[in-house]
């Protein structure tokens, strides 16, 4: 199998992140540093080392869903010493997060050691929907929502279109639902910044058919087989 697939199947990171790790010269195969992304390895025979640690394919895949709280970074080690989502996970096997949420965003996050699964969820060609509840200060007008739906322009680039639905206004803040099927960095925050609105609370409540449901903040639980398989439908 290709080296990046092997690395992500070992739970190192998503396949695309593994490509960056290879390009950075952190991987050796049988004692030789490999920076070529096309390399194919024999997972049974080759000795594959990343940052001095030998990797082996896991005997079993793990799939978790988490309700990420605000104030946690989606990284295995934060250079600023902040708390990370892995402080909240107890697992005997090495896991990585499937996509990411900003430090100040809360809600549904998936964790796994299955690189193929992560690819199904995150690769833009699969158009996996992500749904957010967004709370902003003040009242949002229908014309604001129409602009968001069409795709606002940020730094000269048009953001992808989004499904945007007004949920409620409590006299101080407006809550809207936003559904996107691409995952550009800080996409939802940038959309609202572009219409001059600061997000007070951003919470992801759904990825594909998997919903956050009643999972408590900071808690994780195994995904059901039905939830895992829901990403494979139509393949």
Given the rule CB under 6 A, which residues bind ligand URA? 101-102, 105, 186-189, 202
Cα distance between residue 108 and residue 98, in whole Å: 10
* Nearest-approach distance from CB 107 to ligand URA, in angstroms: 8
Minimum distance from residue 162 beta carbon to ligand URA (Å):
11
Using the minimum distance from each CB to ligand URA, give the nearer residue, 98 or 188.
188
Rounded-to-integer distance, Cα 152 and Cα 157, Å: 8
DSSP H helices in the chain: 3-9, 15-23, 115-122, 142-150, 187-194, 225-229
Question: Which of residues 41 and 109 has its CB atom nearest to ligand URA in the complex?
Answer: 109
CB 140 within 8 Å of CB 166: yes
Minimum distance from CB of 97 to ligand URA (Å)? 12
Query: Six-digit token pair at 189?
Result: 């925050």
Task: Compare residues 66 and 202 and give the one whose CB is closer to ligand URA.
Answer: 202
The residue annotated as part of the active site, out of 46, 78, 102, 181, is 102
Look up 170 and say whether it is catalytic.
no
Catalytic residues: 102
């Amino acid at each position: 199998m290709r080296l990046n697939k092997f690395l992500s199947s070992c739970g190192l990171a998503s396949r695309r992140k593994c490509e960056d790790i290879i390009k950075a010269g952190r991987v050796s195969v049988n004692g030789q540093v490999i920076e070529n992304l096309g390399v194919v390895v024999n997972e049974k025979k080759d000795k594959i080392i990343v940052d001095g640690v030998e990797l082996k394919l896991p005997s079993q895949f793990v799939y978790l869903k988490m309700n990420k709280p605000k104030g946690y970074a989606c990284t295995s080690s934060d250079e600023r010493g902040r708390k990370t989502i892995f402080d909240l996970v107890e697992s005997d096997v090495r896991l990585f997060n499937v996509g990411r949420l900003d430090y100040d965003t809360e809600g549904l996050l998936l964790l796994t050691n299955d690189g193929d699964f992560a690819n199904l969820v995150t690769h833009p060609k699969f158009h996996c929907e992500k749904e957010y509840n967004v709370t902003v200060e003040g009242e949002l007008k229908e014309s604001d929502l129409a602009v968001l739906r069409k795709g606002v322009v940020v730094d000269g680039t048009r953001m992808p279109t989004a499904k945007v639905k007004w949920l409620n206004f409590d006299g101080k803040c407006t809550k809207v639902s936003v559904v996107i099927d691409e995952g550009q960095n800080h996409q939802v925050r940038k959309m609202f910044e572009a219409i001059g609105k600061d997000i007070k609370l951003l919470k992801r409540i759904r990825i594909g058919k998997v919903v956050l449901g009643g999972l408590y903040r900071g808690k994780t639980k195994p995904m059901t087989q039905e939830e895992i398989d829901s990403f494979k439908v139509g393949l």
